[in-house]
Amino acid sequence: MGIEFNRIITLLRKERGITQKQAAQDLGISQAQLSHYEKGIRECGLAFVVQVADYYDVSCDYLLGRSAERSGQTITVEELPEGNSATGGSVYRGSVLPTMYKKLIENSLDILYDKLQESRDKQLVVGVSSYLMLAVYKMFRLLYEASPKNVSGMFRVGSARWDRSADAAMSMAEGDLAAALTGEDGTRDSLEPATLALSTDQLARDYPRHATSLFNLVKNAEEAMRGLKRAE
């Protein structure tokens, strides 16, 4: 069945606030059996997958990790909502792939910054923004320096040190962000957990147009991470 099934059924149960015992009773199996399914110790049959899908009101494709959408819908680039474009549009020459990824990232950033605004925490906004700006800087500079015709005078940090300096600054931004979230730096109490309480259900309700982009971004990012792990 794969690790997606056990991860997702555990996530859905916890988001519903249902105990393992209650879920097992509702599904007509023992708590020990459900525990084995959630831990990936045992695999279930397809009939149980359908039963769980009905119980949590999601699709079988979602349970199996084949779709980031609970409905199992496969989105196309045209179905993704438009973000604000600096170029006056989101249509690129050639492949639709840049358009799709741009929409996924823009729409996910809309959610991210909306949650940051709700936190009313300047340190969080600065920490997240610093990290993201450095990431964009790195990608842009890699593209810029790929052509020997581009003059180096655009940048103040030299070619020998910019990459490592950017990595160091990103690590610092991550550290500052972690300190801000936990209150470790002593400037204030740690952030209340309820401030950034999130669930897939809540995200879908609060951001009906953009949540699909975020869910697919998470799915794509974790597939990339798994690819790295398999390559080790």
Supply the pLDDT for residue 176: 87
Give yes or no for a contact between 38 and 50, defined as CB atoms under 8 angstroms apart: no
Supply the pLDDT for residue 132: 95
pLDDT in tens, 76-90: 555 555 555 444 444
Q: What is the residue extent of each domain of the chain?
A: 3-63, 97-231
Select the CATH number that applies to the domain covering 3-63 from these four: 1.10.1070.11, 3.30.1490.270, 1.10.260.40, 3.20.20.140: 1.10.260.40
| Structural tokens at position 14 | 């916890």
Supply the pLDDT for residue 91: 47
Read off the pTM.
0.68
Which residue from 54, 75, 73, 74 is spatially nearest to 12, judged by alpha carbons? 54
What percentage of residues in the chain have a pLDDT greater than 90? 37
Instruction: Point out the residues of the chain with pLDDT beneath 50.
Output: 85-92
Supply the pLDDT for residue 199: 87
Supply the pLDDT for residue 85: 45
